[in-house]
Amino acid sequence: MWVTTTLGFFSVVRAYESDDVMIRSRVKKDLDALLDRFSVSRSGISFTPGNDYGYRVVVPIEVWSCWIAELALDIDYPNFKDAVKQKNPLRAKTYMHVWSDYHQIENEESTLRPLKQRARQEKMKNAKTDPRLVPRKR
């Protein structure tokens, strides 16, 4: 599972031969922020430079499920990209690339495209008849 938050980016997988999960990150600062958020010692972070994600911590899946629920409850922003930009402008640029790639997939593959086109056409049609949308004469 990939989890992208204002704290950082994480890849969460089942730990080897265990019922625990391994929370992995490319940037130690991300794991530091996550553990700090939940008042957990950073001493459990291991550095594995030969692996895809260089920083890892293992926690029981029940702990992770509580953490992810708390992160959801922490959402206090109306726009995720703006919230990230406020905390870390450089990270916001990286997240924007990801957003853009997914936006491209939506445009190419999504069944939403015909629905969005129809909604746009309906909006244009309503704009001609809805008095709230007609420009006022000055």
- For the stretch 92-121, pLDDT in tens is 999 999 888 888 887 776 666 667 777 778
DSSP string covering 21-32: EEEEESSHHHHH
Q: Is 20 helix (H, G, I), strand (E, B) or coil?
A: strand
Q: What is the pLDDT of residue 137?
A: 60
Q: Which two tokens stand for residue 83?
A: 């919230």
Across-strand partners of 57? 23
In sequence order, which residues have a C-beta less than 8 Å from that of residue 99 and are 6 or more positions away?
81
- For the stretch 29-56, pLDDT in tens is 999 999 999 999 999 999 999 999 999 9
Report which residue type is found at 84: V
Q: Is 5 helix (H, G, I), strand (E, B) or coil?
A: coil
Q: What is the pLDDT of residue 101?
A: 85
* CA angle at 125 for the pair 123 and 128, rounded to the nearest 5°: 105
Q: What is the pLDDT of residue 47?
A: 97
Q: What is the pLDDT of residue 126?
A: 76
- For the stretch 57-99, pLDDT in tens is 999 999 999 999 999 999 999 999 999 999 999 999 999 998 8
Q: Model confidence at 127, in pLDDT bands (50, 70, 90)?
A: confident
Question: What are the backbone angles phi and psi of residue 111, rounded to the nearest 5°?
Answer: -75, -10
| Alpha-carbon span 110 to 2, nearest angstrom | 21
In sequence order, which residues have a C-beta less than 8 Å from that of residue 27 and are 6 or more positions away?
8, 9, 55
